[in-house]
Amino acid sequence: MIELRHASQRGHADHGWLNSYHTFSFADYFDPEQIGFSDLRVINDDRVAPGRGFGRHPHRDMEIFSYVLEGRIEHRDSMDNGSVIVPGDVQLMSAGQGVLHSEFNPSETDPVHFLQIWIVPDRVGYTPRYLQSHFSTEQKRGRLRMLLAPEGEGEEATLPIRQDVRVYAGLYDGDERETLTLAEQRFAYVHLASGRLVVNGQQLEAGDGARLRGVGEITVERGEQAEVLIFDLRPNELPAMPG
């Protein structure tokens, strides 16, 4: 079964310097039907104005990764990490026992467009850590490239995440087509970051999402400048912090 949620149904917050769309309940946006899906808790589609950003703030016991679509975002944290993330980069921060960080658009002229995604960890109290990898356009062109997976899985540069989840990204145009096979009894979530794409026969537009349950395969095809993220998830309806 595939359950679509259109981009226009998401929560929205416009703070002037930040224009954000929330797939799931976040901050002042609350929808009891949209708390999350499996271990996926947050997908925020953020556009940050030049020279602005999120000041230093805390997180704990959450796997947080950022995926830049356009522009650049500068990250600094209390673990003494600092980097500028550009399209193709994936930044993964395991907040664990607690971390402070900031995110800032270093450009004086160009906005940054990025996704910030939260995934519930498999246990609380981890030592915080920061990881980053780059995935080129060629690696994602016409195929689903694994970005994150449990420790020890995936190709070179795949980032280890502290949960039983696998995250893929792909770029599709024209005749490019691929099928992802899921293990038995897995759920999946598809987020179309940009363009247009057909997923298991359903047309998705930029910002659309889809929950998939009881589906052994996910086929993506007929893309038009499409950039898609697919989450292979445990068969749980709602995220829950581990006890």
Q: Does position 141 have pLDDT exceeding 90, yes or no?
A: yes
The whole-angstrom separation of Cα 200 and Cα 243 is: 36
User: Residue 212: inside a domain, yes or no?
Assistant: yes
User: Residue 243: inside a domain, yes or no?
Assistant: no
DSSP states along 25-56 = -BTTB--TT-S-BTTEEEEEEEEE-TT-EEEE
Residue at token pair 């907040």: 95
User: Residue 200: inside a domain, yes or no?
Assistant: yes
CB 85 within 8 A of CB 91: yes
CB 191 within 8 A of CB 213: no
| Domain containing residue 67 | 2-233
User: Residue 12: inside a domain, yes or no?
Assistant: yes
150 burial class (0-12, 13-18, 19+ CB within 10 angstroms)? middle
Lowest mean pLDDT among 58-62, 99-103, 150-154: 150-154
Query: Domain total for the chain?
Result: 1
Q: Does position 243 have pLDDT exceeding 80, yes or no?
A: no
CB 52 within 8 A of CB 17: yes
Handedness of CA 53, 55, 56, 62 (dihedral sign): negative
pLDDT at 145: 97
pTM over 0.85: yes
Q: Does position 28 have pLDDT exceeding 90, yes or no?
A: yes
Q: What is the CATH number of the domain that holds 142?
A: 2.60.120.10
pLDDT at 150: 96
User: Residue 50: inside a domain, yes or no?
Assistant: yes
Q: How far is CA 166 from CA 7, 76, 200, 231, in A?
A: 23, 26, 19, 6
Residue at token pair 């499996």: 38
pLDDT band at 131 (very low <50, low <70, confident <90, very high): very high
User: Residue 238: inside a domain, yes or no?
Assistant: no
pLDDT band at 77 (very low <50, low <70, confident <90, very high): confident
User: Residue 242: inside a domain, yes or no?
Assistant: no
Tokens of 183: 């293990």
The whole-angstrom separation of Cα 45 and Cα 27 is: 14
